[in-house]
Amino acid sequence: MQAIPVITGKPMRKDSSCINVLTCVHYIQSVLSEVPYRELFAGIAGNNSFLVTDEDTGRLVPVAKEYLLEPGNWISNALLNRVYLNTISILNDPDAIYKAGCNIFNTAVGGQVFLMRLAGVQTIINRLPLENAKFNQNRSIKIVKNQNGLAMVRIYWDDDPAVTKLFCDMNRGVYEGLGKLTGNPAAVKERVCQFEGGKFCECQIRWKAKPVYSRCMDLIRWRISREIIEELERRIEEVNTNRLKQERTIELRTKDLQRQKRIIDKAQKFLSRYVPSQLVKKILAGEVEPVRDHSRRKLTLFFSDIKDFTRITDAMEPEDMGRLLNEYFSCMNDIIQNYEGTLANITGDALFVFFGAPDGTNDRDHALRCVQMAIDMQHKMTELQQKWFYEGIEYPLQIRCGINTGMATVGSFGSRYRSEYSAMGMQVNLASRLETACKPGKILISHATWALVNDQIGCRPMETIEVKGFSRPVRAYEIDPADENGRDSAGMTRALTAQKIFLDN
């Protein structure tokens, strides 16, 4: 089970509704036969700078196309500015955003806009501050003047580097689009611009004034539709309130998930000190049964211990001995983890490791990784011997390694209160006996293991050894980690072994 990477950071700011993105989409659609979404969302979709909270998992994820095309979603000024720039690039038109703004009332507000057409330009301008708040949080609007045929609207933009003149172009286009909304063309002139040195943007909106009787008819139609509009607004506000509550819930879930992940990561590091790392992953993934069950498997088994460790450490202070052991086990464990072995247990200064469970590949791979692990351990011991000598350890510490490949019973052994994941059987005992018979600084392997690694690793045949519990002598092979001949010595091994077999017969 592969863990899903968790993205850290914060969700992007909610400055603008995605209706602004849809405005660009619809304008591009009116110019081109098809919207090139890849170019429109270039540098946006999948960018870890634009993160949103996934509603299903509560995780932070990069913003996707589907999110950007939903008018109820919100995005940052930086993202919207990127959409504006991409729109201009696609259409090769510096006025594309202004023209898109003129087209905005064909985009999204639906039935509410249809009803507002009954009201006329003057009434709609009065509603601009309220309507703006529904779709933009990056500006505030003040109506300076609003008469029949003339209005002055003042816009104060947020102090955000991501807000550029393109936002002003869109806004100017929107005001010009008011005329299209009512069928009464409006002319917009920007008298002051915040992006050209002004403290704010001020737009003068002119349209053809209606005669009194026409305005009276508009007023009657407006009053008839007013209750419908208020009901629509109430429902929209209710939806927005529920959305905000949902977003708050998602944010809390995200924080809780991140907190739980930190706890799990800490638990995994802690458990890995006492339980094989492969088992830790299975336990945390809920795969407990495969760990608890017993099974017969072909494993490559490894034992090691430090020769004369008790005699050497008798003269040491307990604190020094503890420090030395901790350093030794830390170095050995790093090597075990590197070769993905299963550390079954540590008894005193002895290690028991096996390959092939709980996860396995094939017998040859298990044996090669196990033998190479043992070689690396012996090389590491050479480094530690020099280090410890200069730290006052007079006698060099050397380890013996025994390796065997064979069938064993593997699973959880112990009581309901305490158990360990280990392997048992005659083949396990043989690996332990090989370690006892091994010379310090060397590695002793069985014939079964030799058959799997001899073409890759140089081995020297040894005299057969008597092993308690086995009726016949056991053939063994020695690996000298100091031998760097590799494949050359492997050929010699095969020749010597063939000669020995011939002589034995």
What is the distance between the alpha carbons of residues 133 and 243, in angstroms, rounded to a whole number? 15
Q: Which two tokens stand for residue 156?
A: 């104060």
Q: DSSP assignment, residue 425?
A: S
H/E element, 400: strand 399-414
In the CATH scheme, what is the homologous superfamily, with its name and number, of domain 16-243?
H-NOX domain (3.90.1520.10)
Query: Is this prediction's pTM over 0.85?
Result: no
Of 411, 299, 270, the closest CA to residue 365 belongs to 299
SS3 52: strand
What is the distance between the alpha carbons of residues 376 and 356, in angstroms, rounded to a whole number? 19
265 backbone dihedrals φ, ψ, rounded to 5°: -60, -40
What is the distance between the alpha carbons of residues 95 and 238, in angstroms, rounded to a whole number? 37
Q: Which two tokens stand for residue 421?
A: 């994941």
What is the distance between the alpha carbons of residues 226 and 429, in angstroms, rounded to a whole number? 90
SS3 259: helix
Q: How many residues does the chain have?
A: 505
Residues of the chain with CATH 3.30.70.1230: 288-504
What is the distance between the alpha carbons of residues 154 and 145, in angstroms, rounded to a whole number? 10
Q: CA neighbours within 13 Å on the CB side: how many for 292?
A: 8
User: Helices in 137-211 by DSSP H: which ranges?
Assistant: 165-182
pLDDT at 230: 64
Do β-strands 443-446 and 399-414 pair in parallel, antiparallel, or remain unpaired?
parallel
What is the distance between the alpha carbons of residues 354 and 301, in angstroms, rounded to a whole number? 4
Of 203, 185, 206, the closest CA to residue 194 belongs to 203
Q: Which two tokens stand for residue 322?
A: 């503890």
CA distances for 275 relative to 328, 343, 420, angstroms? 18, 8, 8
What is the distance between the alpha carbons of residues 478 and 187, in angstroms, rounded to a whole number? 95
pLDDT at 237: 67
The arrangement of secondary structure in 288-504, i.e. its CATH architecture, is: 2-Layer Sandwich (3.30)
Return the number of other C-beta atoms located less than 10 Å from residue 157's C-beta: 19
Tell me how far apart the terminal alpha carbons of the chain are, to the nearest angstrom.
52
237 CB burial (10 A radius; 0-12, 13-18, 19+): exposed
What is the distance between the alpha carbons of residues 481 and 398, in angstroms, rounded to a whole number? 13
- Asked if 106 and 26 touch (Cβ cutoff 8 Å), the reply is yes
To the nearest 10°, report the CA torsion of 92, 137, 67, 3.
Answer: 120
Beta-carbon contacts of 248 under 8 Å, excluding residues fewer than 6 positions away, are: none
List per-residue pLDDT tens for the chain, 505 residues long: 344 455 667 889 999 999 899 999 999 998 998 999 999 999 998 888 898 887 777 788 899 999 999 888 999 999 999 999 999 999 999 999 999 988 876 654 444 454 555 556 777 788 888 878 888 888 999 999 988 788 999 999 998 999 999 999 998 988 888 777 666 778 889 999 999 999 999 999 988 766 555 555 555 555 555 555 566 566 666 766 676 677 777 777 777 777 777 776 766 665 555 555 666 666 666 555 555 668 899 999 999 999 888 777 777 777 878 888 889 998 998 999 899 899 888 888 899 999 998 888 999 999 999 999 999 999 999 999 889 888 887 777 899 999 999 999 998 887 776 677 889 999 999 999 999 999 999 999 999 999 999 999 999 999 888 888 787 889 999 998 877 444 333 443 444 444 444 345 4
- Asked if 301 and 406 touch (Cβ cutoff 8 Å), the reply is yes
Return the number of other C-beta atoms located less than 10 Å from residue 315's C-beta: 11
SS3 content of the chain, % helix, strand, coil (to 5): 50, 20, 30
pLDDT at 203: 92
Residues of the chain with CATH 3.90.1520.10: 16-243
